Chains A and B, each alone.
Chain A
Amino acid sequence: MEPVTQIDGRAYPFGVKNVDTDMIIAAEWLKTISRVGLGKGAFAALRADPANVFDDPAYAGSPILIAGDNFGCGSSREHAAWALADMGVKAVIAPSFSDIFSGNAFKNGILTVVLPQEQVYRLMEVARTDTIHIDLAEQMVTTPFQDRMPFDIDPFRKQCLMGGLDEVGLTMARGEAISGYEMRRMQAEPWLVPVAA
C-alpha cells in the first residue's frame, strides 16, 4: 500500500449524518469480482439528486471526504471502503465513524480523522472554496486560513499508514518468524503438506 503522510487537496463538503454502507455502495455491487471499479456505484442513490457534491466538477477527484456523524454504519461490507478508495478518497473527516467501517478503511489505506462537530462544520465551509491539508505525522488538519485542528489516531494505525503497511504487509514483515515456525512444524509433522493428488 502507498504510504500516507500528507494529504492535500479539495474535499467533498458532504456532511450527511448516519450514512450507512448500503448508501455508500448498494447490495447489487456485491456480486462483482473486483475491488476496483466500485467508485462508479458509490453513493448511487444520493447521486440521483443533480445537486449532489460527488458530481460537482469543482470537487472531482477530491482526496478528502467530509462526512457527518456515524459515517459507515450498517453492514460490514468491505466494498464500502473499496468504493471510496476507487473514487480516489484517501481520508474521511467526520465527528464519528462506525468501528467496522474505520477498520475496513484502515485495511485499505484510507485515513479516518475524528474532529469535533464545530470543526467539521468549519471545514465544510472552507472546502467549498479552498483546499484542506492533513499532516499525519503531526496529526494536524490545516487550512489556508490558519485553522489548526489536531486529531488523535491509534499509534499502530498511524505507523501502518505512514509506513504504507497494510496488515498483509505487516505480517509479511514477520516472514522469518513464520518460516522458522514452518520448519519446526514440518519436522514434527511431515504430513503438514497434503499428499499430491
Chain B
Amino acid sequence: MALFNYRNVGARGTGMTEARTLYDKIWDAHVVEQRDDGTALIYIDRHLVHEVTSPQAFEGLRLAGRPVRRPELTLAVPDHNVPTTARVDADGKRIPIADPESAQQLAALERNAPEFGIRYIDATAPEQGIVHVVGPEQGFTLPGLTLVCGDSHTAAHGALGALAFGIGTSEVEHVLATQTLLLKKSKSMEVRVEGDLGFGVSAKDVILAIIGRIGTAGGTGHVIEYRGTTFDAMSVEGRLTVSNMSIEAGARAGVFAPDEATFAYIKGRPMAPQGADWDKAVAYWKTLRTDDGARFDRTVHLDATQIAPNVTWGTSPEDVVPITGSVPDPDSFEDASKRAAARTALDYMGLSSGQRMQDVGVQHIFIGSCTNSRIEDLRAAAAILRGRHIAGGIKQALVVPGSGLVKRQAEAEGLDRIFVEAGFEWREPGCSACLGMNPDKVPAGESCASTSNRNFMGRQGPGARTHLVSPAMAAAAAVTGRLTDVRELATRD
C-alpha cells in the first residue's frame, strides 16, 4: 500500500491561464509532487548553513549514513558566534575563540562542511560575513529560486525575488538529505506602499512603519509581496532591509518582483550565471511578476509620504513611533494583553508614558546585523558622522560591516576613517550585538540605538534595552547621546 496518493506536477487546479501572484509562480515551479492531504514536496534550490542550527542536522546524516544530496547547492559560513575583534594576529595566525562553546560550534561547521562536500567560507576569509549578506553578495541568491536557512531572517533574500524562509534543525537535515521540504502553501498578502520617501526616511523606517501598522502577528501564515512605487524606486539593498524584517511582521517570507535594478545588482557576482545562461536567466526572471487580476488573500496600503524616521519604544518590533512622537500610555491600547505587555515593556525599558522619544538617552550604538550592515547603510551613517564625534555619554559605538567585502569597500571609500575619527569601533563582520551569542553585548539596564531587527527583552544581552532605528538615525543618536531626529543633523543635497 502506498503511503500517499501523489498527483503529477501540472495536473493541479492552478492552470497557466489563471492570473497568478509572484508567490504562486515560484511555488508552482517548485512542486516536485503534490499530495492529496494538501502538502507538497517542494524543491529547494539554495541552502545557507551557519554554525548554530546545523550541527545536529549533520550528525543526523552521519548516524544514518546519508550523504548531502546536492552539496553544490549549499553554502556554509559561520556568523552568529564569531567575535568581531581581530581574527588573525600580526603573523597572520588565527586567534582562537575564547568561549569554548562558541569555538566548538565553529569547529563543528569547519569539520562538517568538507566532510559532506559543502562549500565553506572560513571565518578568516575575505568573503566571510552574515549569511544573509553573503548570499546576495556572492550571487548565490537569485530570482525565482527557493532558498532556506536555519535562521528566521532568511526572509531577507526575498528582496531579489527568491522565495526564502527560515527552517528548524530537522528541516535543515531534510533539505541536506533530499533537497526538498514537505510544505503547505501559505496565504498571500500584498503590502503596497506608494509615494516618495521624505528627506531622512529610509527603507528601515518603511518596514518599521509596516510592522507598526500590522503588528508582529499581522503576516502570520502569509507570504508578503511588497509592491508599489516606493519599492520600485528603492535600491536592492533597501529592499533587503525590508524583506529581512518580514518575519518581524509574522510572515515567514517577503518577496519583491525582480526588476532592472535586481538584474543590475546580480550581474557579475561570483556565483551568478554568466554568458548565454545570464541572458536566458534574465528572460525567465522578467516573467516573475504578479499577473494583472491576481488575487491576494489580504492587502495593506501605506502612504510613503506619511512615514517619518521611526524608533521603537518597547520590547516588540511592533512598538513603533515616529521620532517626533512620545512613549505611549499603556492604557491607550484596546487589547488587554497589549496593555499588560506595554506596562511590562516600559518597566523593562525604564521609560514612562508621555516621555518624548527625543529625550531618551542612549549609551550604546550598534550599526550592523543582517538588516543594516551593507555598504549603503554604512554610507548613510558615515554621512551623518563626517566631521562629528560621538557624545560624551556614549560608552560604546560599534560599526560591524555585514561581510568582509562590505568592509573592504567601505575602507576603499574612506568610511572606516570617518567612523573611527567619530569615536566608533571598526569591527570584523558577523552577527555581533544583534543577539547575545558572541562577546558583543549591551550591559543590563543600558540603552542601545541599534540598526538590528529585534528589540526583545535580553536580545542584546541580559537586561539590555534596544531601540530599533535606521543607520542614519543610529549615527544621529551617537552624536547627541539620545534618540535624535536625523533630519536635524543631515544636510540636503
CB within 8 Å of B: which residues of A? Answer: 1, 31-36, 76, 78, 82, 104, 107, 156, 159-160, 166-172, 174-175, 177-178, 181-182, 185, 189-197
Contacts and interface: CB of A to CB of B under 8 A. Distances in A.
B298 interface: no
A154 to B, nearest CB: 11
Interface in B37-72: 41, 43, 45-46, 55-56, 59-60, 64, 66, 69-70, 72
B3 A189 contact: no
Contacts of B108: 33
A66 B274 CA distance: 60
A160 B182 CA distance: 15
A194 B59 contact: no
Interface in B133-178: 138-140, 142, 145, 168-170, 173-174, 177-178
A107 B182 contact: no
A178 B178 contact: yes
B73 A178 contact: no
Q: What are the 5 closest A-B residue pairs judged by CB atoms, nearest first?
A: A33-B55, A191-B273, A194-B271, A35-B56, A171-B178
Contacts of B180: 171, 174, 178
A192 B45 contact: yes
A193 B73 contact: yes
A103 to B, nearest CB: 9
15 contacts: A33-B56, A34-B55, A82-B56, A156-B3, A168-B177, A174-B41, A174-B180, A177-B6, A178-B178, A178-B179, A189-B284, A191-B273, A192-B73, A194-B73, A195-B139
B72 A178 contact: no
A181 B43 contact: yes
Interface of B: 3-4, 6, 9, 32-33, 41, 43, 45-46, 55-56, 59-60, 64, 66, 69-70, 72-73, 75, 101, 104-105, 108, 119, 138-140, 142, 145, 168-170, 173-174, 177-180, 182, 270-274, 277-278, 280-281, 284
Contact of B105 (A31, A76, A78, A185): A31
Nearest to B269: A195
The DSSP consensus for interface residues of chain B is mixed
A168 B138 contact: no
B274 A190 contact: no
Question: Max chain B CB contacts within 10 Å: which of A1, A169, A177, A196?
Answer: A177
B72 A167 contact: no
Given A171-B41, A191-B280, A34 B174 contact: no
Nearest to A166: B64
A31 to B, nearest CB: 5
Given A33-B56, A33-B105, A181-B32, A168 B64 contact: yes
Contacts of A171: 41, 174, 177-178, 180, 182
Given A171-B182, A175-B178, A194-B139, 17 more contacts: A34-B55, A34-B56, A78-B168, A82-B56, A168-B177, A168-B178, A171-B178, A172-B66, A172-B177, A174-B41, A174-B178, A185-B43, A189-B280, A191-B142, A194-B75, A195-B271, A197-B270
A185 to B, nearest CB: 7
B440 to A, nearest CB: 17
Contacts of B281: 189, 191
Contacts of A167: 170, 174, 182
Contacts of A36: 59
Contacts of B278: 191
B33 A174 contact: yes
A36 B33 CA distance: 33
A183 to B, nearest CB: 12
A178 B3 contact: no
B58 to A, nearest CB: 9
Contacts of B168: 76, 78
A195 B32 contact: no
Nearest to B55: A33
B270 A190 contact: no
Given A78-B168, A168-B178, A197 B280 contact: no
Given A171-B180, A181-B9, A194 B72 contact: yes
Nearest to B284: A189
Nearest to A28: B101
B16 to A, nearest CB: 15
A171 B75 CA distance: 22
A82 B33 CA distance: 30
Contacts of A159: 3
A197 to B, nearest CB: 6
Contacts of A82: 56
Question: Max chain B CB contacts within 10 Å: which of A33, A36, A78?
Answer: A33
B148 to A, nearest CB: 14
Nearest to A81: B170
